[in-house]
Chain A
Amino acid sequence: MATGRVIVVTSGKGGVGKTTTTANLGMALATMGEKVALIDADIGLRNLDLILGLENRIVYDIVDVVEKRCKLRQALIKDKRMPNLVLLPAAQTRDKSAVTPEQMKELIADLQSDGFGFILIDCPAGIEQGFRNATAGATEAVIVTNPEVSAVRDADRIVGLLEAAELRNPSLIVNRLRPHLVKNETMMSVEDVQEILNIKLLGIVPDDEAIINSSNRGEPVSLHEAAKSGQAYRNIARRLRGEDVPFLQFDEGGLMGRLRRFLTGVR
């Protein structure tokens, strides 16, 4: 029976880094030898292809598959850099109603029986049908947020909606952390966000110029050894595989930072 893990990457708010996170986790997991399928569920606003650098290779998309114009395998784009990573692109000229939750479930079951160990779904922003489609076939959820009031509020709403959809115990990625702002007390810390949302922390990704550069080129930053954000994504991928990896240390600088870490026990 199919055992592949199906993880939806969601946030509620747009622009917090869902697509970048999906691309990087997929790439990192594939690098570690996992057979990975990425589904772009953002029908009408597809971007996962662009972040992965696969935009020129799209022939069929998810709507073609559900409307039976092609076989699932024909629509899957193999990443030439990483042959065990495939992308099922979203349709660009249709809208969220082009796919139903039932069809998503079928599609995911097919991918599972094709032997994919990780199926990551890039959820569109919002809480409407796109969200319902993206969460329909998932068995786990990762919530991406930024240390910023509107993103955290939306994340909290998503926690509730996931619960209603029987997706309990979502885990949290705090993306775009700016450690020096936290040090200045002008940005909420990871602990602040975690305290408010009260869900398990999966990872911390620092705000990093390298991400802009890698998006420009269509090369996920997790492929770059040197980038701190790439390291963060690789760590998250390892945690998803069950490894116990300590959270990245961002130099909070000085005695106070060390003292706080010591006192709070946060690494």
Chain B
Amino acid sequence: MFAFLDRFLSRSEASRDTAKNRLKLVLMQDRSVIPPAVLERIRTEVLAVLHRYVEIDQGALELNLDRSEGSVALLASVPIVRVREDATQLLADAVAADAAAATAVPSEGAPAEAASAGADADSVIEAVATGLAGALSETAADAQVGTEATAGEAEADDASLARPAGEAALT
């Protein structure tokens, strides 16, 4: 009864539910075939690629495994501080050099405008790669990359369609 009142007054979650939720999260990692060390490596590599094009709030980067309906998804939330001014040039270079690995590329076609728009810290790139569990070697086969740039000036650069990540689509 006291526990109930306490929860009612403080609006804190019942520890039973906390236990359940924490377990679900930790078991997601335990059950996935991606060991933490590999996940960390994916994180640093994805970060390195993103870093070439955009300035990222590294502290706020989140990379998590999500399990639903028998498949494991890798969810990345990457807060963008600023898009680099030379992003387009870099992109062209990168495509030429056949940049490897799954990554998000900037959708901005006009670097000048993008640079100012990029100052908006709300810009977030969310990358979802499903089916990772069974396909470590093809890390981002089904990568879906969406950018929520608030500037509204974003146009898909032709070059960006040539990114290596298989069926990736911009939204």
Contacts and interface: CB of A to CB of B under 8 A. Distances in A.
Interface of A: 148-149, 152-153, 156-157, 160, 182, 184-189, 192, 195-196
A contact patch SS: helix
Q: Which 9 pairs between the two chains have the least Cβ-Cβ distance?
A: A185-B14, A184-B3, A185-B16, A186-B15, A149-B19, A192-B20, A156-B27, A188-B19, A188-B16
Given A153-B26, A157-B30, A196-B27, A186 B20 contact: no
Given A149-B22, A185-B3, A196-B24, A156 B30 contact: yes
Contacts of A192: 16, 19-20
B10 to A, nearest CB: 13
Contacts of B26: 153
A5 to B, nearest CB: 29
A202 B68 CA distance: 26
Contact of B14 (A148, A156, A186): A186
B23 interface: yes
A184 to B, nearest CB: 4
Nearest to A154: B30
Nearest to B15: A186
Kindly name the residue among B17, B20, B24 whose own CB sees the greatest number of chain A CB atoms within 10 A: B20
A153 B7 contact: no
Interface residues of B, number: 17
Interface of B: 1, 3-4, 7, 14-17, 19-20, 22-24, 26-27, 30-31
Nearest to B24: A196
A195 B14 CA distance: 18
A186 B30 contact: no
Contact of B20 (A160, A184, A188): A188
Contacts of A185: 3-4, 7, 14-17
Contact of A196 (B1, B7, B20): B20
A252 to B, nearest CB: 13
Kindly name the residue among B1, B19, B24 whose own CB sees the greatest number of chain A CB atoms within 10 A: B19
A188 B17 CA distance: 7
Nearest to A152: B23
20 contacts: A149-B19, A149-B22, A153-B23, A153-B26, A153-B30, A156-B27, A156-B30, A156-B31, A160-B31, A185-B4, A185-B7, A185-B15, A185-B17, A186-B15, A186-B16, A189-B16, A192-B16, A192-B20, A196-B23, A196-B27
A153 B26 CA distance: 8
Contacts of B15: 185-186
Contacts of B17: 185
A189 B15 CA distance: 12
A156 B23 CA distance: 10
A148 B15 CA distance: 11
A196 B19 CA distance: 11
Contacts of A187: 16, 19
A188 B27 CA distance: 16
Given A153-B30, A156-B30, A160-B31, A186 B23 contact: no
Kindly name the residue among A152, A156, A185, A187 whose own CB sees the greatest number of chain B CB atoms within 10 A: A185
B11 to A, nearest CB: 14
B119 to A, nearest CB: 43
Given A192-B20, A196-B20, A186 B27 contact: no
Kindly name the residue among B16, B20, B30, B31 whose own CB sees the greatest number of chain A CB atoms within 10 A: B16
A152 B17 CA distance: 14
